[in-house]
Amino acid sequence: KDDLVVLGIETSCDDTAAAVVRGNGEILSQVVSSQADLLAKYGGVAPKMAEEAHSQVIDQVVQEALDKANLTARNLSAVAVTIGPGLSLCLRVGVRKARKLAGSFNLPIIGIHHMEAHCLVARLIERELEFPFMALLISGGHNLLILAHDLGHYIQLGTTIDDAIGEAYDKTAKWLGLDMSRSGGPALEELAQEGDAESIKFSTPMKQHRDCNFSYAGLKTQVRLAIGSHNINPEIPISSASSQDRRSRADIAASFQRVAVLHLEERCDRAIEWARKIEPSIKHLVVSGGVASNQYVRARLDHVVKKNNLQLVCPPPKLCTDNGVMVAWTGIEHFCMGRFDPPPPADEHEDYV
Ligand code: KG4
Ligand code: ZN
């Protein structure tokens, strides 16, 4: 296993990412090209535009990942690529590149589930992390609580019935007039530090539902109403807001964040109780996905985990947001279990994928 060298390619949403990882977990290179400027300009991901942006940089991103690792494609053991979930136009850019490379250099190819990659990257950074364990996966499109029994064997304890938490962060950030040239989450986290988290009493979602599912649509509506009642104009960027206006925005940001994360805490608490009935031996809760790079989220969940006598495994922020390392590593995990496809034909027609 240690001799394996796998290239991972990720293009499911707005980041074009590639990385080379060794079977022993050594990260040989890591490259991410983000479309933040496009996002800021158009206020969200437009699939056709995102596809074009991926196509423009994919060759360069993959080449850079190989160069930084001091390798050529010839030295690779396999190519891993995200095949879903995500925007199909965007996924296709990565898959096409992976198949072309694998075909030309006669390499096996491993199709990767994006959320499994967010989860399993935790096993790269914490080598003691053995199955079974629990995972809370929080990103722009997903909110998942799972019990990971074994590689490829996951029990879903909870999911979102509407929006994911990252989506709620992004919308709230937009409505508060934050700088969207990076994604909304980090900007909102920063502003929340200036605010009073108790100042606005948003209600916690799904209190009456005694399950492990999530909902963020109602909280989004509450935020929207608070923005109206505080006379905040989202068209006015926060940099031009008066000091009183800025304070109101910070209070909304902090109050939103407190409740958004409290919802995670409550669901995790219950999920741990459920998971222990199925699998009493669990020792770890993994928290991963873009929102897991948030320091407040990490601190609050660390508290929940300690209270329940578990250990928190939260990858460093760069490995929580979309990246190629998680894809390469998940590829290694599958490859070692014999789960991969044979090399595609070298002369494969591009339209095939
Ligand atoms: O996993 P990810 O990079 O892409 C998806 O698979 O969706 O997650 C992106 C999401 C975005 O909604 C972004 O705003 C959020 O993660 N995010 C954050 C932070 N950093 C990224 N949310 C809150 N606080 C952060 N520091
Ligand atoms: Zn993701």
Do 146 and 174 share a domain, yes or no? yes
Do 245 and 179 share a domain, yes or no? yes
Q: Report the pLDDT value the prediction gives residue 35, as an integer from 0 to 100.
A: 82
- Looking at all shown ligands, the one closest to residue 318's CA atom is 1
Do 137 and 277 share a domain, yes or no? yes
Per the prediction, the chain carries an average pLDDT of 95
Ligand 1 centroid to Cα of residue 289, in Å, is 7
Do 227 and 202 share a domain, yes or no? yes
Domain that holds residue 145: 133-281
Do 233 and 115 share a domain, yes or no? no
Q: Are 6 and 146 in contact (CB under 8 A)?
A: no
CA dihedral over 151, 153, 157, 162, signed as positive or negative? positive
Q: What is the largest CA-CA distance in the chain?
A: 64
Global pTM reads 0.96
Q: Does the CB atom of residue 313 touch ligand 1 within 6 A?
A: no
Q: Around 237, how many Cα atoms within 13 Å sit in the side-chain half-sphere?
A: 8
Any idea what the CATH number is for the domain that residue 254 is in?
3.30.420.40
- Ligand 1 atom nearest residue 164's Cα: 12
Please give the Cα distance from 79 to 46 (Å, whole number).
27
Please give the Cα distance from 228 to 205 (Å, whole number).
21
pLDDT digit string, tens, across residues 78-110: 999 999 999 999 999 999 999 999 999 999 999
pLDDT digit string, tens, across residues 26-77: 999 999 999 877 776 676 778 888 999 999 999 999 999 999 999 999 999 9
Total domains, the chain: 2
Q: Does the CB atom of residue 184 touch ligand 1 within 6 A?
A: yes
- Ligand 1 atom nearest residue 321's Cα: 3
Do 159 and 242 share a domain, yes or no? yes
Give the ipTM of the model, two decimals please.
0.99
Question: Residue 153 — very low, low, confident or very high, per pLDDT cuts 50/70/90?
Answer: very high
Q: Look at residue 123 and give its three-state secondary structure.
A: helix
User: At which of 250, 266, 281 does a domain end?
Assistant: 281
- Looking at all shown ligands, the one closest to residue 39's CA atom is 1
Please give the Cα distance from 78 to 327 (Å, whole number).
12
